[in-house]
Each structure stands twice: as C-alpha cells, then as structure tokens.
A and B are shown apart, each in its own frame.
Chain A
C-alpha cells in the first residue's frame, strides 16, 4: 500500500481549472483512481459532468490522453482503442513490452441507463479494460433528473415529490450485481471517504487481466442538497447505514471490505439531504420504512454471499 505522501507527490492526471462544483465527488474519486497505475493511461469518457467540466475547448484539465465520443458508448469506445492496441502489437507496430492501461468512465446515467448495453457487451467480450462508474444517483450534469440509480423516495426533477408523490417510486437498480453476473475477473464497490480502499481496488482493477468494473459512490452537493463541507461525513454515513456497502468480487469470490461496528438506520443517511426532505411528512413515512427494508434485504444477501 502506497503512503499518502507518495501518492500526493505523484503527478496529477486530472489537474485544476475544471469547472466541477464545490464539494463535488468526481475529482476526488478520479485523483485517487488515476494514481492507481503508473503505466500510460488512455481514458474514454461518457458525456456527463466529468466530460463537460474538464474539456471546454480550447482548455483541458486532462494531463493524460482522453477521448470522448458520445453518451452511451464509453465502454465501446475504450474497447475500440484497446482492440487497436492489440492489433498493432500483433502486427509489430507497437513494441511487445509497451504497456498501456485503458479506462472507461461514466456517471450513473451513462452507465446504469443509456450505456448499460455497451458496457455489458464490452465486458462480455473480455476486453482488457477498467470501467469506473461514478454514481451520483441522478443525471446531475443536466440538473438532477432521475436515473435507475436514484434511491427510492429521492426527489429528482423527473420524479419530483409533490402533493401526490413521495419522489421516486421505484427501487434503485443494483448495477454492481449485474456486472458480477457477467463473471468478469473483478467487480467492486467503493466510496471516496475510504480512500485507501478505493485506491487498492483501482490498483487491483488495473492490474488484473481482463475486464474490471468499479462502482463508486459519488457525492453531489448540488443535487443531493446538503452542506458541501460535510460530503466525506455523508459518504461515511452511506457505508455505516449499508446504503452503499463496500465490497469486492474477485473471480467470483465475495469480500465485504467494511463492516460497520454498528449498522446505522437509513434515517441517518436521508436526514441531512434536501432530496429526501419530504420523507419526513407523515404521509411519506412508509417510504422511509420501505427504503430501510430494501437496504436491510440487500445487506443480508450480501453477507450471505460473503459467507458472513
């Protein structure tokens, strides 16, 4: 495990000057993930906050090669780059010992929803790529519309709370499980508040041959509506309540990386976020109960899978 001091002294691959919001989880995540390999790196980025905020022509925040083509196809685009790398190595136009890592990146919109098919296809084909989803629970780049990662009861602009609605009515999709079902070598969930865990997982993902997938909880003060100075504490609450369990599945073997000493109620997670504010109305009490039930079910299932 690298020391924080060593990591901090590495050259930044995502540099200052980008336009992401104060307290945004994205730069936090990627400044850690991009340090997890020292090999040359090529990134394909889906349309979204990270893409828009870092590359307003003629400026760029990328100190590493970066490609954007569209919203739903970061996995297919990086698969294309990786295929060319393989072809040119085979044809002797790239030296045999030349190492390059390939990283696909998208938000939950570009990954859980519109890009799910391309991601599924790319990992099923076994490209040697890493895909990182920064899951901020909504289409935050376009003002906070619901995604399939938006939790039950959260108010989003296309699932707003109102006199006749308690916000999003559906249970969130478990994308990590879907990726596990592809039987790829490495799948993990991480959160920026446990940076060593995130760093280790990213390192593993880059090192493993074949497709690897990281789903990372991404703080969004703008759309979750909380005090941006409290982001890391909120992420800690996410793992303490088991709303976002930290675990990894390596060659089919489950491992929970963080067991809360005392599992906290989902209430602790929702109470500081404006997107859940309406859940404290009497008529919406059932939503919070249901949310708690879902989190409990998922946690029990995960523990079983990890033989705990």
Chain B
C-alpha cells in the first residue's frame, strides 16, 4: 500500500534509499545534502537497512569507495552537493569510463567563490561532460520517483552508466511536502535484482580492471562509453512508462505544461518550473498563448524530441540556473538552440540566467519573461539574446 508522508527532499531520497537498500552507500556530509547521509546512517544504526554504510573522509574518497564497491559487484549509491561534487570530479569521469551504474543524489548548490550554500545548478551542470546521466526534479515527489528510476536506468545492461538525480538545494532538499511513498516491496520489485557484469568479487576469474590505454585503444573505449549513454533514451522512456503504470506517475524526457496551442514557451528545469506554472496560468488568464517545457533529463539531452515540441513556437526563453562564463549563452540554452538549428523556420530564442546562489525567482519574474516573449513574437526582433533575471546591475 502506498502511503502519504510529509517529507522534505532529503528525507524523500533517504526514504527511497531505505526501500532500495543498496549494497554499499558511501557519502560525505555537505550542505544541503547532509540530511540524506545522516538519515541513512540512522537507518543503519536502527537496523532498517542491511547494506554497508561507509563514511569516508572526503567526497573524493566517497566516490572512490563507490567505484571500488560497484566494480566489486553490487548496487551502490552516494549523495553530495556543490564543492563535494566538485571534489569528486576526477572520479565522476572514472565511474562513467568504467561503466559503473552508481546512483548519486545531488542537492544542487552553487559553487564557490564566493562561498554560498544555496541552490543553483552550477555543480551538476558543470559535470555535464563527465558521462553521467542527469535527471532533474521539480519537487520532493519527483526527487523520490526519479531516484528510484535512476537505478533501473543506469543498471540496464545496454546502458551501464552512472546516474545523478538533482534536487534543488534548500528549495527542495529542505522543503516539506506531502508525497506518495510506495510500498517497500513494490519498490524493491520495481528495481529488481542487481545484474552483475564482471564483478571483481567473482574470484573464479582473474580480471584486470582499469588498465592503461594508449593511442591505439583509448578512442574506441571512449566511443563504447558514449554508446552506453546513447542507448539510454529508450530505457528512460520505458522505465518512466512502467513507473507510471505501476505507481500512477508517468515520466518522460520533459514535461509540457499548457503547450497545446502555445506560441510562446519558457524552458526551465527543476523547482523553478513549479513557480513558472503559476505564471503561465496567470498569463493564460490574460489571454497569452504561453506554455512551459520542463526538461527532466539533461543528459542524454533529448534534442530531437525537444526540438519537435518547440519548433512551432514564435518565441522561446530558456532559463538557466547556471552560467558558462564566456560562452554564447548558458548550457541549457545552447542545447535547445542547437537542437532547433536544422529547422528552416526557427523560433526566436533568448536566454536568461536566474537564481544563482539561491536568488529567488518569483511568479512576477516569469510574467516579465512572458511579456518579453510576446514582444519578440510581435516584432520578430530580439533585442537582447542573453540576460539576467532579478539581478542588481
């Protein structure tokens, strides 16, 4: 029986961890993901989970423990944020290169300097080329649901790629919400048995894992790795559908909100999408034909599907909660804009960076964006392709 529970984002992740009971959990506490690690430690202390909980001396070692444990052969998870993910950076690439389906919950937080503990996407977006699948969550329910699905996606034998699940630091990690928690056994059944691929602990074979490649093999091995994440889309889709059939909440690559007859569209990920829905409702009541597209999967980026969904728009605003200093637009924008390139008639498209360091974004800000889009659609002119929201200049 599924039950309603009042949990914050961190507790929602921890609850999923308890139900899944991964074989090894290795994590170092860091704000705002600390409560995930503390809750797992308490579950272990109370005998509610059987897996090994390892509390290493740094995030670098936490990911290294995960890599050792995952290559040993079993289900592995971690949690971190911000500087912690940054300290793991080297090992993120190695986890992906060794094709280890580790799952990480990331309470998205800004990167220093200046030091700031609040939510933005600089940490995970910065790790976009590390080879991990990236899933973003709008609220606690999605964080819980995404985290469960992450194991199925990453562990699929055609994929075998690590997966990170983002939930906005504080905004989601620390916000209480009533969520549907599924039955323990049903969650376990949904995840299924872990499928081993060359586990190191199988001592009947002698294996060399992680040897050195020179110019003659590295490229092919990297190509193999890329194929793994390229194989993910049908799996993501199937897992999202199956989750819907089983638990009543279906997931895809993105969510469309009031897009049916929309001419204007705001593209925004994670918690801000919730606020944006209210703005869309208000603008709709004022007669504006505006909708929202909320990408859920950032890697692999569903470029064709997103382009199809957006191609008929007159004007699009892509909102990024991270920046790429010196680049032509922030990361989500460049993806969306590039995805639309092949269409002969392309929508006008602008980019706004918002919410760095946890700066609030409100309904009124989204409404301003909506009005700007309306003007762009009317005039066919883009005056400012790249700008900021709620920033003192």
A interface residues, Cβ below 8 angstroms from B: 40, 42, 44, 51-52, 55-58, 60, 62-70, 72-73, 75-88, 90-91, 93-94, 100, 117-118, 120-122, 124-125
| A64 CA to B71 CA, complexed, in Å | 15
- Provide the residues of chain B in CB contact with A122, threshold 8 Å: 56, 61
B206 touches A83 (CB 8 A): no
Check A67 against B69 for contact (C-beta < 8 Å).
Answer: no
* B212 interface residue (CB < 8 Å to A): yes
The one of A67, A86, A88, A125 in contact with B71, judged by C-beta atoms closer than 8 angstroms, is A67
| A residues less than 8 Å from B214 (CB atoms) | 56-57
CA distance A90 to B200 in the complex (A): 18
Chain A residue at smallest Cβ distance from B201: A85
Q: Are B26 and A77 in contact (CB under 8 A)?
A: no
Asked if B207 is at the interface of the complex by the 8 Å CB criterion, the answer is: yes
Which chain B residues border A51 with CB–CB below 8 Å? 212
Q: In the complex, what residues of B have CB within 8 A of residue A72's CB? A: 60
**Contact call B213/A57, Cβ cutoff below 8 A:** yes
- For the complex, is B51 an interface residue (Cβ under 8 Å from A)? yes
| A125–B90 CB distance below 8 A | no
Contact in complex: B61, A118 (CB < 8 Å): yes
The 5 closest A-B pairs by CB, nearest first: A80-B68, A121-B57, A84-B72, A55-B211, A76-B64
Distance in Å from the Cβ of B14 to the closest Cβ of chain A? 18
| B29-62 interface bits toward A, Cβ cutoff 8 Å, 1 = contact, 0 = none | 0000000000000000000001110111110110
- Quick one: which of A52, A82, A85, A121 contacts B56, CB cutoff 8 A? A121
Is B210 a contact partner of A67 (Cβ separation < 8 A)?
yes
Smallest CB separation, B28 vs chain A (Å)? 10
Report the minimum CB–CB distance from A210 to chain B (whole Å). Answer: 15
B154 within 8 A of A: no
List 23 A–B pairs whose Cβ atoms lie within 8 Å, in order of A's numbering: A51-B212, A60-B208, A65-B208, A66-B208, A68-B211, A73-B60, A76-B64, A79-B56, A79-B61, A79-B68, A80-B66, A81-B69, A81-B200, A83-B24, A83-B54, A84-B70, A84-B74, A87-B69, A87-B74, A100-B203, A118-B60, A122-B56, A122-B61
Question: B residues within 8 A CB of A85?
Answer: 72, 201
Report chain A residues within 8 Å CB of B76. 84
Is there contact, CB below 8 Å, between B26 and A83?
A: yes
Partner among B50, B70, B90, B207 whose Cβ is within 8 Å of the Cβ of A91: B50
Residue B163 lies at the interface, judged by CB distance under 8 Å to chain A: no
Known: A69-B68, A69-B91, A83-B65. A125 touches B208 (CB 8 A): no
With both chains docked as a complex, state the minimum distance between the C-beta of B94 and any C-beta of chain A, in angstroms: 5
B94 and A55 contact, CB distance less than 8 A? no
A79 to B56, CA, bound (A): 10
Taking a contact as CB atoms under 8 Å apart, the answer to whether B64 and A73 are in contact is yes
Q: Is B209 an interface residue (CB 8 A)?
A: yes
- Which of chain B's residues have a CB closer than 8 A to the CB of A91? 23, 50-51
Residue of B nearest to A56 (CB): B212
Interface size class of B (residues with CB under 8 A): 35 or more
Q: Which residues of chain B from 66 to 101 have any CB-CB distance to chain A below 8 Å in the complex?
A: 66-74, 76, 90-91, 94, 98
CB-based contact A125/B56 at 8 Å: yes
Q: A68-B211, A85-B201, A117-B58 are in contact. List 17 more A-B contacts (CB 8 A).
A: A44-B68, A55-B212, A56-B214, A57-B213, A63-B206, A65-B205, A67-B210, A69-B64, A69-B94, A72-B60, A80-B24, A81-B200, A84-B52, A88-B74, A93-B74, A122-B56, A124-B57
Taking CB atoms, residues of chain A closer than 8 Å to B207 are 65-66
Residues of B near A77 (CB, < 8 A) are: 64-65, 67-68
CB closest residue in chain B, given A60: B208
Measured CA separation A45–B196 after assembly (Å): 22
Instruction: With both chains docked as a complex, state the minimum distance between the C-beta of A75 and any C-beta of chain B, in angstroms.
Output: 8
Instruction: State whether the Cβ of B217 lies closer than 8 Å to any Cβ in chain A.
Output: yes
Contact (Cβ within 8 A) A73 B201: no
Give Cα A58–Cα B200 distance, bound, in whole angstroms.
Answer: 18
Closest beta carbon of chain B to A49's beta carbon, Å: 12
> Once bound together, how far apart are the Cα atoms of A39 and B281, in whole Å?
67
Closest beta carbon of chain B to A164's beta carbon, Å: 36
Report the nearest B residue to A51, measured CB to CB.
Answer: B212
A82 vs B65: C-alpha distance when bound (angstroms): 9
Tell which of B26, B50, B203, B209 touches A80, judged by Cβ atoms closer than 8 Å: B26
Are the CB atoms of B210 and A68 closer together than 8 Å?
yes
> Given the known A-B contacts A40-B203, A67-B200, A68-B209, are A79 and B54 also in contact in the complex, defined by CB atoms under 8 Å?
yes
* A84 adjacent to B24 (CB under 8 Å): yes
- Considering the chains assembled together, what is the distance between the CA atoms of A49 and B112 in angstroms? 36
Partner of A64, one of B23, B60, B70, B206: B206
Would you call A90 and B50 a contact (CB within 8 A)?
Answer: yes
> Which residue of chain A lies nearest to B97 when distances are taken between CB atoms in the complex?
A69
- Asked whether A81 lies within 8 Å of B213 as measured between CB atoms, the reply is no
Question: A87 contacts which of B51, B64, B66 (Cβ < 8 Å)?
Answer: B51
A84→B201 contact, CB < 8 A: yes
Q: Which residue of A lies closest to B68 (CB)?
A: A80
Chain A proximity of B80: nearest CB distance (Å): 15
Q: B64 contacts which chain A residues (CB < 8 A)?
A: 69-70, 73, 76-77, 80, 118
- A66-B209, A121-B56 known; A100-B61 Cβ under 8 A: no
Tell whether, in the assembled complex, residue B57 and residue A87 are in contact, meaning their CB atoms are under 8 Å apart: no
A118: chain B residues at CB < 8 Å are: 56-58, 60-61, 64
Instruction: For A83, list chain B residues within 8 Å (CB).
Output: 24, 26, 52, 54, 65, 68-69, 72
Which residues of B, 171-227, contact A by the 8 Å Cβ criterion? 200-201, 203, 205-214, 217
Known: A60-B211, A68-B209. A84 touches B69 (CB 8 A): yes
Partner of A73, one of B61, B70, B211, B217: B61
Question: Which residue from chain B places its CB closest to the CB of A127 in the assembled complex?
Answer: B54
- Which residues of the partner chain A approach B210 to less than 8 Å between Cβ atoms? 55, 67-69
A60 to B213, CA, bound (A): 12
**A57, B201: Cβ atoms closer than 8 Å:** no
> Chain B CB within 10 Å — which of A42, A72, A83 has the most?
A83
State A86–B69 Cα separation when bound (angstroms).
Answer: 10
Q: What is the chain B residue whose CB lies nearest that of A73?
A: B64
Chain B residues within 8 Å of A70, by CB: 64, 90-91, 94
- Quote the shortest CB–CB distance from A222 to chain B (angstroms): 19
Given contact pairs A70-B64, A76-B56, A90-B50, A81 touches B201 in the complex (Cβ within 8 A): yes
- What is the bound-complex CA distance between A63 and B205, given in angstroms? 10
